[in-house]
Amino acid sequence: MKPFVVNFIYAILLIALSLWGYMASESPSPTAFIPTAFGVLLLALTPGMKKENKVAAHVVVVLTVLVLGGLVKPLTGALDRADNMAIARIIVMMAWGVIALAVYVKSFVDARRKKA
């Protein structure tokens, strides 16, 4: 799968799942919009990735790593509350983040091999 397609899917998932989490919460917090903001940024970088812009691709990787790190605390909170839907949403966001990172790194390796 192309990196820009994976990025697009990941961005949409971040936006949709974080909005769902905010609306489904009994005590919604504005911090639930953090993945939404990252999703919007990733979505905005998708055209740059489609054009194989190196800067856009590297920014996407950094943002994805930040999202993955940032989702650890909400996951532990959801586990403490035994909120199964929140756990599922966060795990889906994290799993797609790992998949996206794998695709991005593979594309970097492929580009380097192609260049050499």
Residue 93 has pLDDT above 80, yes or no: yes
Residue 71 has pLDDT above 80, yes or no: yes
Residue 116 has pLDDT above 80, yes or no: no
Give pLDDT, residue 9: 97
Q: Model's pTM, two decimal places?
A: 0.92
Work out the burial of residue 96: count CB atoms within 10 Å of its CB; fewer than 13 is exposed, 13-18 middle, 19 or more buried: buried
Give pLDDT, residue 25: 85
Average confidence score pLDDT of the chain: 95
Which contacts (CB < 8 Å, 24+ apart) does range 103-108 have? 103/1, 103/3, 103/6, 104/3, 104/6, 104/7, 104/57, 104/60, 104/61, 104/64, 105/61, 107/3, 107/57, 108/57
- pLDDT per residue as tens digits for the range 13-60: 999 999 999 999 888 889 999 999 999 999 999 999 999 999 999 999
Give pLDDT, residue 82: 93
Question: Average of pLDDT values for 64-85?
Answer: 95
- The DSSP letter of residue 30 is G
